[in-house]
Structure 1
Amino acid sequence: MSEMNRLEAIHPILKDYLVEPYFVEDYGGVQKIYSNKGTFALKKIAPTIGTDFIRHVHLLYQKGFNRIVPIYPTMDGRYAVLHENNLYYLMPWMSNDYKEDREHKNQQLFRELARLHTLSAKEITVSNEERTEHYEKTIEQMDKHQEFLDGFIDECEKKTYMSPFELLYCMYYTEISQALRYSKAKFEDWYEKTKELEKARMVITHGKLSSEHFLFDDRGYGFFINFENARYGSPIHDLLPYLSRALNTSLKRSDTALDWVYHYYKYFPFKEDEKLLFYSYLAYPIPVIQVAESYFRKQRPRNELKFVRKLQQHYWHLKNSEYVVMRMTEIEAQQQYAKEGAQQQSD
């Protein structure tokens, strides 16, 4: 699209803000607008997403959380403009040029996430039926996964000549199975601890947490963008996907990921039941099970190399996650031991 056409296309949207565009640059779903009133970001979203997230953004501002890039209202008070079957909203443009090492940025991201969760936290009523239904469905899924793992290894071991994938699966089977059993045990502990509780803690979750959705202004302050998936939910739902992506690498002991979690805990510590659920979900080896199921269902000829690579990659992810979970449980045990020792001395 030519520059003139781009200007013509956004003119009807920006007139609702009394903004006169001079020049436009495309950045995928976001356009950078140079105008008579400064530089803006115009974001296009599908109308199916709706504007519920703006309610959450406003609620956070009211509670004193201002580390979200603000959304500007139109002259008649709307926070989004419907134009040719798309919704658009307007924000200030964030330079994101602030030079800081990546680790410091991640620390700031987790601190601000913890503040966001702290300020929006509320207790909601959860019925026994809801909790039990969630528990039973999850346990049923875990049992099905265990059944598949056991059935598939039996199939592999019956063969005189295994394929490379089957051979690798047999090598990994014990550790995949252990991870699944650990995940199930922690989930059962969570249920035992919470089945009598009538309340659960909920926060506004960002819903799409990523370092790309945390931008810096020229003073070095970080701000969240991309709040379209924000909703009330467990704080775990923000941490898990972020950590899972960070651990999706070759084999490594990621003490960095541990640092992030404990930096977050400094400002928003998880309760005992939240920790159990967090360990269960982080340890759950779903990706590696899914690749084995996908291989099992695939009609021949199979691309062995592709499947072997995927299995290895997801196995590494399992081991990286296992390291983080094990270190966290060790740290918890040490802290508990120290606390009990201090209590005994004071008695």
Structure 2
Amino acid sequence: MDTLKAVLQAYSIQPFYIEKQTEHLYKVQDHYQQYALKQSRLTQETVGMWEQVYNIAYTDFLSLVLPVYLTKQGKLYEVQGDSIYYVTPWKGNSLTELDQPTIEKLFQSIGRMHAKTKQQQMVESAQLKRTFQHYKQHCKQLQQELLAAVEQYEKNRFMSPFELLVCTQFKELDYSLKETERRIEQLLYEQEENSTWYYSLCHKNITTSHTLTHQAQLYLINWEKASFDYSIFDLVTFFQQETSEYDAPIDLFMHGFDKYMDENELTKKELYLLVIQLLDPQAYLACVTAHKETKATMIEQIIHLQHIFRRILFGLHFSAYVDQTYDTIDLEDLDDTD
């Protein structure tokens, strides 16, 4: 507690009380208002990028970024011991109900941030082709491994619940791997046509728990993992985090994505890469491979497998939505015209 008080003293905050909210977050009340005090995971090597986020938010008017208070010395953070602390206004709780207006506003805000900070870069086509051809071969190997596991399970006179679940889900997993191969071919075709890619400021950890609403204003908090990267990775993180539960509002996410595209229209290559990431089968196969060796209970294994499967299933729904809603290429049609 003395450490927290020393941090607050650097901000000239005299607390009435300090209430622990999570392991690293504290709610602070003084004579006038409430604050959020965060013991961050930032280091001297990563804090520079975190500071850059706030400089960009100031110059580009990014209202999505929850502001931080300055210390008496004019710094964005305070160091105590081995930890870096920062203070923000206390803006209430994270989102609990994902209604359509809120989801649309979130995606609009993310799209606007990506668009405002977008920068262009050229990616060497031969290198990218090697990378994705290798990944395609890797997916084919995973497909063979999954088929071998299913065939082995089916030889058992009595399958375990986990094994039965894998066999039941095999059809969708097999299709997702074929869909991945199709999207890779589309991406490589587009790369041959245009080698330009774009990167933007990305939060890199967008979840509903890092989203706040206060008086009609929406904020993203916890920018500690932020970096410049392909904008689709923010979308991948959000979708994978939010679609693992059985009642995920998939239709709302699709509508939200349309609003994102209104603000930051992705290229065809970016759409294909987004789908490829959402269909990534590696976590599923790792779960199957570890089935006999893990110390997790059967129930824990099944829950974990279901979460991964739901994310992949969302990827299949999203891939179909991209085909229906946006102008994507069909390589078979191109072959027919040759």
The TM tier, using the shorter chain, reads 0.7 to 0.9
* Distance change (3 Å), C-alpha of 1:111 and 1:153: same
Amino acid corresponding to residue 188 of structure 1 in structure 2: E
> How far apart in 2 are the matches of 1:98 and 1:324?
23
User: RMSD between aligned alpha carbons?
Assistant: 3.0
* Distance change (3 Å), C-alpha of 1:316 and 1:95: closer
The equivalent position to 2:326 in structure 1, one of 313, 328, 332, is 332
- 2:315 equivalent to 1:321: yes
Further displaced range: 222-231 or 318-327: 318-327
The equivalent position to 1:116 in structure 2, one of 108, 113, 118, is 113
How much has 1:270 moved relative to structure 2?
1.1
8 Å CA contact retained: 1:41, 1:93:
yes
* Distance change (3 Å), C-alpha of 1:64 and 1:311: closer
* Distance change (3 Å), C-alpha of 1:205 and 1:105: same
The equivalent position to 2:169 in structure 1, one of 155, 159, 172, is 172
Indicate the SS of the match to 1:17.
Answer: coil
How much has 1:148 moved relative to structure 2?
1.2
Amino acid corresponding to residue 35 of structure 2 in structure 1: F
Alignment of 1:93-132 (within 5 A): 93-96=90-93, 102-128=99-125, 130-132=127-129
* Distance change (3 Å), C-alpha of 1:45 and 1:314: closer
Map of 1:342 onto structure 2? none
What TM-score, normalized by structure 2, do the two folds share? Answer: 0.84
The equivalent position to 2:293 in structure 1, one of 283, 290, 298, is 298
Alignment of 1:83-102 (within 5 A): 83-96=80-93, 102=99
> How far apart in 2 are the matches of 1:167 and 1:96?
40
Q: Which has the larger radius of gyration?
A: 1
Map of 2:64 onto structure 1? 67
Structure 1 moving runs of 4+ over 6 Å? 97-101
8 Å CA contact retained: 1:258, 1:328:
no
Map of 2:335 onto structure 1? none
Indicate the SS of the match to 1:123.
Answer: strand
Further displaced range: 87-96 or 155-164: 155-164
Q: Which runs of 5+ in 2 are unaligned?
A: 330-338
Map of 2:334 onto structure 1? none
> How far apart in 1 are the matches of 2:167 and 2:94?
49
Map of 1:340 onto structure 2? none
What TM-score, normalized by structure 1, do the two folds share? Answer: 0.82
Q: Which runs of 5+ in 1 are unaligned?
A: 1-5, 337-347
The equivalent position to 2:78 in structure 1, one of 76, 81, 90, is 81
Map of 1:344 onto structure 2? none
> How far apart in 2 are the matches of 1:97 and 1:311?
27
* Distance change (3 Å), C-alpha of 1:10 and 1:321: same
Map of 2:210 onto structure 1? 213
Map of 1:151 onto structure 2? 148
* Distance change (3 Å), C-alpha of 1:303 and 1:83: closer
